[in-house]
Amino acid sequence: MEINKLVDLNSLRTAPQLSSSQVKKLLGELETNIFNADWITIGIMAPSDTKAIEALQSISNKYSSIKFGNLDSLHADGSVFLKGNQKTGNVFVRSENGLGEGILITCQFDEDAEESNTFGPLPLDFFCI
């Protein structure tokens, strides 16, 4: 399957390998959505809590307005699902088997009239490139 737009990721259970040109194209589309949202929530499916936290930190490193606290206190065994909320700064992680791998970004809005949209799964290193 060719990945040219964010919508192409919607049917995937796990993030695909992407070329640097695909990452650049998808990142441009994603940033338009992120910058137009009031806040985002981030879901990360990863093989370990360490990998999930690293992926979350890569997003905070790329965007100074997206920060989370208390990451040192997070721990879960095995495969995990991590959820971070930009608006509250809260982050939770739980063990969960049977998930794919990748980052899900949901753009949220203060007004109920605006519909939230989820994008992904993106590779765990998507924001490092």
> Which domains, from first to last, does the chain contain?
6-128 (3.30.360.10)
pLDDT grade, residue 1 (50/70/90)? Answer: low
| pLDDT reading at 32 higher than 90 | yes
DSSP string, 30-93: HHHHHHHSSEEEEEEEESSHHHHHHHHHHHHHH-TT-----GGG---SSSEEEEEETTT--EEE
pLDDT score recorded for residue 71: 84
State the pTM of this model. Answer: 0.94
pLDDT score recorded for residue 104: 98
